[in-house]
Amino acid sequence: MKIADIYVRVSTDEQADKGYSQRDQEERLKKYCQVNSIQIGRIIFEDHSAKTFKRPEWSKYLADIKKHRSNADFVLFTKWDRFSRNAGDAYHMISVLRKYGIEPQAVEQPLDLSIPENKMMLAFYLAAPEVENDRRALNVIYGMRRARKEGRWMATAPLGYANRINEDGKKCIVAKEPQASIIKWAFKEIANGTLAADQIRKEANQKGLKCSRSNFWNLVRNPVYCGKIFVPKYKDEEARIVQGLHEPLITESLYYEVQEMLESNKRKVRPNSKITSHENLPLRGFLVCPRCGRTLTGSASKGKYSLYYYYHCVSSCGFRSRADYADREVVKEIRKYKPHPAMVKLYGTILSQSCQKYMSQEQNGTKEILHEIDKVNARLSKARELLLSDGIDAIEYKEIKTECEKKLAKLEANLSDTASTMNSRSQVDKLIDNALKALSQIDVMFEDADVVKRREIVSSIFQEKICFDGKQYRTLSVNPVAEAIFLINNKLYSLKNRKDDDFSCLSGWVVPTRIELVSKV
């Protein structure tokens, strides 16, 4: 009596769409064996695609055949598309099975392969499902490409977004917190240029982003975060970037500013060499040794009752100073850069006038951007005319077109960002008031803040590392704004003879007007 192994395969979409259930296939194969007096050996159930033979259950079956030499004469399946949907792989597998004395056979499409003419029918049975697979794959490619052109994200949502289905039943992505806010912060920090990109990534990970170095690099390069969708090149169609339907996390101008920062590898001067520090050593990395000029580190020394923290040099010079004393002295230094209460109102007035002037400059800048856009469009039109008149070849036109499209994207991003900035000027007075309040109590903020905020305050005032000799601070470079406040507080304000909060438009040194008596000659 002949022995046959039964192979039952179905993929999820086929089971749902065409009803190729495993139970139905099993019943038909068992009935065929019963009618033809064939003994059933083993039954293999597979839930995997037939594009290749890299299927879990089939791989186990093949390995078992090679190891134990199966007694089966046949391996039966309902149709040839259950066996394979790749003609080349199918022919190879048939030869492998025959090598071990097993003949593959489809019960609903039986073929006697010892007859040469039947090989033509076998080729048809194997090619038909492969063609169907290729057509289905092509339809998927076209459909996803069309959706991308319409501005829809058609893959797993990028970090900071989540996959959703909108009211129309179409897939979309929406912002996901807290990752979205962390990504916004990361883009702004890269644009500032005060920290390296990898340092920003590490701090973002501490905030909860959970992103590897390579993924973070791809993240900051991805235009999806500024509301754009990248459509890759396909056949004769060039790659392009289209406007997405999702909500952007950042502005286009910020995205392009970050790209320029990454490409040019720019980095601003910063005094802090470390992002984080111990809460009792907030100035570690900011201080330099007064004796040898090296950067001071910090550590704790165990005393009789508690730990005592010191800033000290790692060289043989042996300099060290109590951390609590150095921290108290830096508060005195910071207090020097608080604006005088009588000057705060004047600062607010100057800032408001500067903002108004900036608004007018932005209006002029908008006109300049529109003019540049017209120039780029004119260049593109001229290149098109030269192409039609054989003045340039297709390769040169493509280079000009690519360059012009990049310029237009940046200019349009700057234009939209300028418009949004103009619309937000109604809140400028509130922002100025909040900034001046914070500046007026910057020493109190420093004392009450955590170690991260303290380091931010110090780095915002001192542009270079500061020297502490154990008694007082000396610094080489101060933020120009802080330097101007210090000058007003300590130099200019001391020269004013009227020092109350009521400022007059006339100086106190001006001689008041009086009635002059006419003398007779």
CATH number at residue 211: 3.90.1750.20
Domain end among 236, 264, 292: 264
Which residues on neighbouring strands pair with residue 173, listed in sequence order?
163
Do 84 and 31 lie in one domain? The reply is yes
Name the most confidently modeled range: 186-200, 217-231, 297-311: 217-231
Residue type for 520, please?
K
In a domain, 468, yes or no: no
Which strand ranges, in their side-by-side order, compose the sheet holding 39-46?
Answer: 39-46, 3-9, 74-77, 103-106
**Residue 313 counted as domain residue:** no
Distance CA 400, CA 6 (A): 62
Tell me: do 177 and 132 sit in the same domain. no
Is 202 part of a structural domain of the chain? yes
The last residue of one of the domains, among 215, 240, 264, is 264
What is residue 441's predicted lDDT score, i.e. its pLDDT? 79
User: 423 falls in which pLDDT band (50, 70, 90)?
Assistant: very low
Three-state secondary structure call for residue 300: strand
**What's the whole-number mean pLDDT along residues 498-503?**
50
CA distances to 20, 365, 379, 413, 482 from 373, in Å = 58, 12, 10, 11, 39
Q: Whole-angstrom Cα distance, residue 203 to residue 274?
A: 11
Which position has the higher pLDDT, 138 or 18?
138
Mean pLDDT of 76-104: 85
What are the phi and psi torsion angles at 111 (to 5°)? -140, 135
> Do 170 and 122 have their domain in common?
no
28 is a domain residue: yes
Contacts of 256 (CB under 8 A, 6+ apart): 409, 410, 413
Q: Is residue 504 in a domain?
A: no
Domain match, 99 and 181 both:
no
pLDDT of 510 reads: 52
Same domain, 125 and 179: no
**pLDDT category of residue 364 using cuts at 50, 70 and 90:** low
The one-letter amino acid at 87: A
Residue type, 337: Y
Point out the least confidently predicted range of 129-138, 224-233, 502-511: 502-511
Give the residue-averaged pLDDT of 160-173. 83
Count of domains for the chain = 3
* Partner residues linked to 164 by β-bridges: 172
The residue count for the chain: 521
CA distance 172 to 11: 27
SS3 112: coil
Residue 521 pLDDT? 47
Average pLDDT over residues 489-518: 54
Does the pLDDT of residue 274 top 50, yes or no? Answer: no
The whole-angstrom separation of Cα 467 and Cα 465 is: 7
Structural domain containing residue 380: 341-436
* Domain end point (choices 240, 264, 288): 264
Q: Of 331, 322, 275, whose CA–CA distance to 296 is shortest?
A: 322
Residues 11 and 126 in one domain: yes
Q: Are residues 7 and 114 both part of a single domain? A: yes
**Same domain, yes or no, for 183 and 129?**
no
CA dist 302 and 148 (Å) reads: 63
Burial track 471-510 (b if 16+ CB lie within 10 A, e otherwise): eeeebeebeeebeebbebbeeeeeeeeeeeeeeeeeeeee
Indicate which CATH number applies to the domain containing 104: 3.40.50.1390
Q: Using 50, 70 and 90 to split pLDDT, how confident is the model at 273?
A: very low
Residues 6+ apart with CB under 8 A from 103: 73, 74, 75, 97, 113
Question: Are 31 and 101 found together in one domain?
Answer: yes
Indicate whether 251 and 375 sit together in one domain: no
Residue 268 has pLDDT above 70, yes or no: no
Structure tokens that stand for 427 in this block:
């809140």
Is there a contact between 421 and 361 (Cβ–Cβ < 8 Å)?
A: no
Please give the average per-residue pLDDT across 290-301, as a whole number.
84
User: Is 102 within the bounds of a domain?
Assistant: yes
Partners of residue 300 on adjacent β-strands:
309
Tokens of 174: 């929406």
| 449, burial (CB in 10 Å: exposed 0-12, middle 13-18, buried 19+) | middle
Are residues 30 and 93 both part of a single domain?
yes
Torsion sign (Cα): 227, 266, 454, 428: negative
Residue 101 lies in a domain: yes
Cis peptide before 178 (omega within 30 of 0): yes
pLDDT score recorded for residue 363: 60
Q: Is 300 a member of any domain?
A: no
- CA 182 to CA 177: how far, in whole Å? 8
Are 130 and 165 members of one domain? no
Query: Cα–Cα distance between 489 and 493 in angstroms, integer?
Result: 5
DSSP-H helix ranges across 389-479: 394-423, 428-440, 442-448, 451-461
